[in-house]
Structure 1
Amino acid sequence: MSLARRASAELAGTALLVAAVVGSGIAAARLSPHDAGLQLLQNAVATALALGALILTFGPVSGAHLNPVVSAVDWWLGRRASTGGLTGSELAAYVAAQCAGGVLGAVLANAMFDLPAVTWATTARAGGHLWLAEVTATAGLVLLVVTLARTGRTGAAPAAIGAYIGAAYWWTSSTSFANPAVTFGRMFSDTFAGIAPGSVPAFVAAQAAGGLLALAAATWWYPHAARDSADVVVPHDQEVTYR
């Protein structure tokens, strides 16, 4: 697969992921306006199912990283082993595509629900407890991804990763953004899933810290994890037979 094809898959996949997050949040707020718990449940279930489906759709093309932290870890592991993973230029293309996709996804969700294309989010999300939650959620996600690749269970990635994110909506105080591109995109929609621009830098920093923590843990627990960097999130960039 050419880099252009892989990057376009990352853009489209991240856009659809953010559209699912933001769109289901808007729908939940409209359908259950007086029940915050039900709104969160609806948002979490829709996001978990959409994420699993998107990994199945885009995984064979780009690996379905859909997350700059996952891509950065993939680059680092491949750099150590020289057996796969992203190169520096590929990492830059992936991250740019993911962030652009995050914005397009928010704009798409706004348009589908007859809202202005861009409305800057006003929901402030700040505080040490939320940043700790983002470190924890991102570390768990990255560790799961690396473990699945290292143990040859990438076939379970769509269900496992979708389940993890869906559950983390509930057991983290931040509702588990765990993704800088998604975080960036969500500031373009002043809706249930939005995050104020001023809150974004700290969230992204916490997510990066979580990625580093997961990388350290994976390197310790799986000394040869770098050998499987080409299989993150799922095996990709291989010859595909179309029928």
Structure 2
Amino acid sequence: MTSSADVPVTAQLWRRVVAEGIGTGLLVTVVVGSGIAAANLSNDAGLQLLENSFATALGLAVLILMFGPVSGAHFNPVVSAADWWLGRRDRSGLSLRELTAYVPAQVIGAMAGAVLANLMYGEAAVSWSTTSRSAGHLWIGETVATAGLIVLIFSLVWSGRAAIAPAAVGAYIGAAYWFTSSTSFANPAVTIGRAFSDTFAGIAPSSVLGFVFFQIVGACLGTGLVVALFPRVVSTTKSGVTS
């Protein structure tokens, strides 16, 4: 992912919004589609998770490279919100208008991405997930996963290392599938999208609100850590890339 300040000024808002919608949709297609494929290929839960996480890590890195020059490749409402909040003083991040355009596009794109994955594998277009993920230890996992993602993205951007963000963010999400109890959704839009598929990567609609709440908590913690630990020694208006 990239900071909005790294997006060329020639990228009109509507183009950026379309890129965010398509990018988030394709991310959910990767997550859900690889989950369905993994369940079809293996009966072992550990192997299924390995296949799902590997495909997601690679797919996310590619999507950031693809859409980053247009929209910053946030694909994530809490990343967009953090970009707005951290950049509001020097106007290096999203404006409030841009934020309110990005978030609906990300959510709608995520829902469409789940439908696409379902259809590609011969499933019903919408099959509400029955996988309950409502438990305290999972919420802790989501808080940790989201906080870590925010710290990673903005520490790279603020230190002038944004060019390595596609690989770094992909690697982090791939690893977080394994080291967090929740398998690291870390994204409210993706969480909503995954509720549309009763497959390996799904989450029951009744569990969505809890995940989203603790993703927001994690984003707030991560934003606070960025401010405390990484003084902005390099202006994002002069640096290059961010998820």
What is the TM-score when the length of structure 1 is the normalising length?
Answer: 0.93
- SS of alignment partner, residue 182 of structure 1: helix
How big is the shift at 1:80?
A: 2.3
Matched, 1:11 2:21: yes
Match of 1:66 in 2: 75
Q: In structure 2, what is the Cα distance between the partners aligned to 1:224 and 1:74?
A: 13
How big is the shift at 1:224?
A: 2.5
Q: Is the 8 A contact 1:15 1:101 kept in 2?
A: yes
| RMSD between aligned residues | 1.6
**Which of 22, 31, 35 matches 1:21?**
31
Q: Is the 8 A contact 1:78 1:230 kept in 2?
A: no
Which AA in structure 2 matches 1:85? G
**Which of 224, 234, 238 matches 1:216?**
224
* Count, aligned residues: 233
Question: Percent identity over the alignment?
Answer: 61
Unpaired runs of 5+ residues, structure 1, are: 236-243
Which AA in structure 1 matches 2:69? P
Matched, 1:134 2:110: no
Unpaired runs of 5+ residues, structure 2, are: 1-10
- SS of alignment partner, residue 181 of structure 2: coil
Matched, 1:198 2:206: yes
Q: In structure 1, what is the Cα distance between the partners aligned to 2:36 and 2:164?
A: 30
Match of 1:163 in 2: 171
Matched, 1:42 2:88: no
What is the TM-score when the length of structure 2 is the normalising length?
Answer: 0.93
Q: Is the 8 A contact 2:161 2:240 kept in 1?
A: no
Which AA in structure 2 matches 1:69? V
Relative to 1, partners in 2 of residues 1:233 and 1:132: Cα closer, same or farther, differing over 3 Å?
A: farther
CA offsets per residue over residues 192-230 of structure 1, 9 Å max, x none?
000000100010010000000011111011232794279
How big is the shift at 1:176?
A: 0.2
How big is the shift at 1:13?
A: 0.3
Relative to 1, partners in 2 of residues 1:166 and 1:218: Cα closer, same or farther, differing over 3 Å?
A: same
How big is the shift at 1:234?
A: 3.2
Q: In structure 1, what is the Cα distance between the partners aligned to 2:73 and 2:128?
A: 28
- In the TM superposition, 1:91-170 aligns within 5 A as 91-170=99-178
Match of 2:3 in 1: none
Relative to 1, partners in 2 of residues 1:225 and 1:203: Cα closer, same or farther, differing over 3 Å?
A: farther
Matched, 1:52 2:64: no
CA offsets per residue over residues 64-123 of structure 1, 9 Å max, x none?
0000010000000111222x2111110011000000010000000000001110011110
Q: Is the 8 A contact 1:63 1:231 kept in 2?
A: no
CA offsets per residue over residues 108-139 of structure 1, 9 Å max, x none?
00000011100111100011100000000000
Relative to 1, partners in 2 of residues 1:225 and 1:106: Cα closer, same or farther, differing over 3 Å?
A: farther
